[in-house]
Structure 1
Amino acid sequence: MTLPQDIPSSAEDYMDSQTHSNRPISSILIIIAMQTEALPLVEKFQLSEDHNSVFPKEVPWVRYHGMYKDLQINLIWPGKDSALGVDSVGTISASLVTYASIQALQPDLIINAGTAGGFKAKGASIGDVFLVSECAFHDRRIPIPVFDLYGVGLKQALKTPNLLAGLDLKVGKLSTGDSLDMSVQDEASIIANDATVKDMEGAAVAYVADMFKVPAIFVKAVTDIVDGEKPTAEEFLQNLATVSAALDEAVTQVIHFISGKCIHEL
C-alpha cells in the first residue's frame, strides 16, 4: 500500500495527533457495505474512483475520494465478491477494509453508514435513520466467563451531542451479526444487547476503530422490520433503494455539520 504524503510518519505520531489535536476535522473515512448505498453519496459529493489504488491489487475494495469544503472524503466500498459477483457484506470484509483504510488513509473520523433491520418494539419504522450510541455482536456466543464479554464486544460510538441536537435523527443501539435473518439464539442476544437496529458490519468497524483509537460514528437507516410480519429478505429488497436515499440525505447532513468543526465540537 502507498501512503498519502501529508500523514504522520508513524502510528504513534498519528495516535498522538488524534488524542491531543484541537484542529478541525480534515479527513473523513466513510465505510459502506453495498454499492446501492454508496453511489448516491459518490454522486452527491462528486467523488472520483481511485484507479491507482492504495489497497493491494488482489482485493476488490473500491475507493472514491474528493474534497468537500475543507474535508477530504474517502468513501470505501468493499466491492463485489470475485467468485459470485455480489456485494462483499458482513463482518470479515468490514473489519479488513476498516483496518486497511486506517493504515493507508489515517482519517480523523470514521463514518460507517448503511441500511439495517429495525425493531418495532423499540420504536423503529421503515425509513427511520438512527445515530448509533453503541455497537455489539449478537452471534459470537462464548459461554465462558470473560470470553462471553469478549464475544459481545461492546463498543461505544463517539458521543456527538451537538450533532444530535442539530439533526433530526433517532438514537439507538446497534447489534451486528453475519446473517440477514434472525435465529432464536440471535434474538435472545439482540434483546440482551438492548438493540434497536441490527446490521452485518457495524460492530466489526467499531472493533477496529477502537483498536486504533479513531473516533467513529454510525448512521443506520431501517429497510426492514425484523419483528414485523413480512419476510426480512423480501422487505429489505423492496425498500433498499428508497431507504438508501434517506441514508444518503442523513449522511449528507452529517458531513455538512462536521465541516469546520473539531471532534470535541460534535
Structure 2
Amino acid sequence: MEQLSVKDLPYIKITDFMAAIGREPVRKDGKLRVYDAPYNCADLYRSYGIETKDMPTCVVDTVSNSWYDSQYKSYGLSGNLFHLVGTMFDSYDRDLESRYMLDVMNDYIRKNTIQLCPIPRVRFEQQGNILCMVFTPQEISFKEFLIEDGYKATKTEGNLTYYSYDGRWSKDNHPDVVIDNQKGLWVDQHSGKNMGIADLISIIIGEDSYSDILWYIAEVMEGKEVIKEIGPEGMKIEPVKQKLDALSLEQAPSCSKPKIRL
C-alpha cells in the first residue's frame, strides 16, 4: 500500500490505529471491541479521582468506526478517530493529530496490510426546517460519480476506461480521468499514481477540506446544489435548488461551477 496522506485519515479504521499503537482488544462482543484505554481524562476530571488510562473501558464500534468510554462517555469521551487522538494528547490541535496519525499509520503499513473505510454514501434529508446530510456506510461507485458529475467514457483499453468531462460547467477544473477498473481508482497521468475520488474532487473544487469534499459528493449524487452560510444565528442552509437536469441548454448558465462557501 502506498503512503497515506491527510485525505486518507478520515477513512482509517480505529481498530487498525489501535493495532498500530500496540493495542489489542481485551474483549470482543459482536461488532464491539474493548481495549485498555490509550488516554486519560482531562486534568479537570482527574483532580476528582477519575482515571481511565489503561483501564478496559475504551469501546470501538467496528460498524460505525467510532469509539466511546464505557464508564465516562458523559465526560465527552467518545467520537471518531480524531477525537480519540485528541483525547490521548489532551489537545484538539488538528494539525498535531494529523501528523501523529500519519507517522503512526505509515510506519505500521510498512509491515502490515490495512483496508481503508469506503467513502460513505451520502444523501440529503429534510428534518423539520433543517436540511441534513446523512451518511450511510455504502461505497460510492467512482464510475457512477463521474457520470453524475458530467463525465462521459471515451474509450476502454484492457482494464482502463478513459473519461472526459462533457458537462455544463467549465472544463478547466475537470481533468480527463483514466479509471483502473480492477482497483476502482483513477490514474494520475502526470505522476502515474493511483488516486481516489477525494483527490479528484479536491482538484475540481479547489479545496482540501474533508467537509467540502463530502458536500460536493452529496450535491452530485443527489443532483442538488446547496449553499452553506454562517451567520450570527449559526449555520443556515438555503433551500435546495432543483436538479439542474431540468434546465434546458439555453437556460443552463455558462459560468464556472460555484464553489461551496462557508
User: If the TM-score is normalised by the length of the shorter chain, which range does it land in?
Assistant: under 0.3
Q: Which has the higher helix share?
A: 1
Return the structure number with greater relative CO, CA threshold 8 A, min gap 6.
1
TM-score, with structure 1 as normaliser: 0.26
Which of the two has higher C-alpha Rg? 2
TM-score by length of 2: 0.26
